[in-house]
Amino acid sequence: MEYQFPKDFWWGSAASGPQTEGTYEGDGKGPSIWDHWYQEEPGKFFDGVGPSDTSQVYKRYREDIQLMKATGHNSFRTSIQWSRLIPEGTGEVNQSAVAFYNDYIDELIANGIEPFMNLYHFDMPMALQEKGGWLNRETVDAYVVFAKTCFTLFGDRVKKWFTHNEPIVPVEGGYLYQFHYPNEINMKQAVQVGFHENLASAQAIAAYHQMDLGGEIGIILNLTPSYPRDANNPEDVKAAAIADAFFNRSFLDPAVKGTFPEELVTIIKELDMCPDMQAEDLTTIKENTVDLLGINYYQPRRIKAKESAMDHSHGPMPDDYFDTYDMPGKKMNPYRGWEIYEKGIYDILTNTRENYGNIKCYISENGMGVEGEGRFINDQGVIEDDYRIAFVSDHLKYVHQAIQEGTNCVGYHMWTCMDNWSWTNAYKNRYGFISVDLANDAKRTIKKSGHWFKEVADQNGF
């Protein structure tokens, strides 16, 4: 069967500033929470590789853009590092950063690749984290100034903006499950952080629309559909709906509808954990919804009614309302420990059409991390990653089906362009169309999947 995609479909990949740029003597970048955490606990990072040793894009973006071109990109998303542009989070703008991002953007456009820019990708400037980070209302104000600064500097050329990438992750990682700095377990704080991120997004959207720069602004959400163990068991169905409210709808509903999910509001009120807010905040969120939704999809969430004992050593947790269900026979990516469920991408897209006004959306991330890809190098030095080609094409078939049924999905970006640093996992699992050989001056080589993707983009299908 042939899968033909709509005219002007966005083909490309996604990355982020903190995961690719690196840090260099004299670049003027201030420390983010990642730089700080790595200094404090380098042993937490796979192979001891920290954020200053990423894939050197700060120096090598011109070469990399040629490789993007060679792998069929007509669009590419990265992020502007807050701590690079405004090293202290507030105050002075770093002119070296302005020059770098200007040149990066211009080079992309000169090569026929549209830049998509995200503003916040887990990289809180340490100076702001010391004052509470997203717990502190002042951070919201500082973020809006950062956003406006970006719009002013780069908005004449960048026409696709995103306020946050996966804003649920700083909530989960930093304040519930301890996989991001500051590693707290405190649901009341998690609620406040989530609220401030939602508010910051809405305020940045308001600012962007006021500036009338002729582009679109949205948000990037990692949507993990919650499937009940037994669709005929009301307790399982209810548990899945609550998990969905916590991890998907907590940002999806305010971003697209301007309201928070009732199930979540009820629980937060029962727990007496309502966030601190000002009188106009809910109106700001209501009136400033997204133009465009980016959807990151990697895996589903399988849920059953709560059966295990509650652990209240740190107070209430989202897991008090559901258990994870280990579904027998599921297809797995053994390296990442994630289920591979291609139809999930179709279910998310269908949900945007049926329940979110068929908002204009695109797949902003989807991909497969594999450890030890060196095993698959052929005689020409190319990694034969047929598993990645299968993963992407199997997901694209479901994207195509959703579009055929009327979903307003306008693009597909894989994570990621070239193997990049992935937080505490560093370079453990590789995701790129292009390999990066850290032992050999970060030498770049296009993988088999990159050559395949070029054909897909050129034909606008496969």
- CA dist 81 and 210 (Å) reads 23
Between 448-459 and 57-70, two packed helices, what is the crossing angle to 10 degrees? 60
Q: Could you give the percent of the chain with pLDDT greater than 70?
A: 100
- Please provide the CATH number assigned to the domain covering 10-459: 3.20.20.80
What does the block give as tokens for 341? 């469920």
- DSSP for 130-150, written as a single string: TTTGGGSHHHHHHHHHHHHHH
49: left (phi over 0), alpha (psi -120 to 50) or beta: beta
Residues 6+ apart with CB under 8 A from 459: none
Residue 150: both structure tokens together? 């970006």
* Catalytically active residues, by annotation: 365
What is residue 53's predicted lDDT score, i.e. its pLDDT?
A: 85
Please give the pLDDT value at position 237.
98
Q: What is the pLDDT of residue 223?
A: 98
Q: Which residues of the chain have pLDDT under 50?
A: none
> Taking CA 328 as the corner, what is the angle to CA 322 and CA 331, rounded to the nearest 5 degrees?
105
Is the Cα dihedral 435, 438, 442, 443 positive or negative? negative
A 10 A CB-CB count for 268 gives: 20
Give per-residue pLDDT as tens, 51-82. 998 899 999 999 999 999 999 999 999 999 99
User: What's the rounded Cα separation, in Å, for the pair 118 and 125?
Assistant: 16
Mean residue pLDDT of the chain comes to 97
Q: Which of 347, 403, 409 is nearest to 223 (CA)?
A: 347
H/E stretch holding 318: none
Q: What secondary structure, in 3-state letters, does 186-253 show? A: CHHHHHHHHHHHHHHHHHHHHHHHHHCCCCEEEEEEECCCEEECCCCCHHHHHHHHHHHHHHHHHHHH
Write the single-letter amino acid at 36.
H
> How is the chain split into domains, by residue range?
10-459
Q: Are 42 and 48 in contact (CB under 8 A)?
A: yes
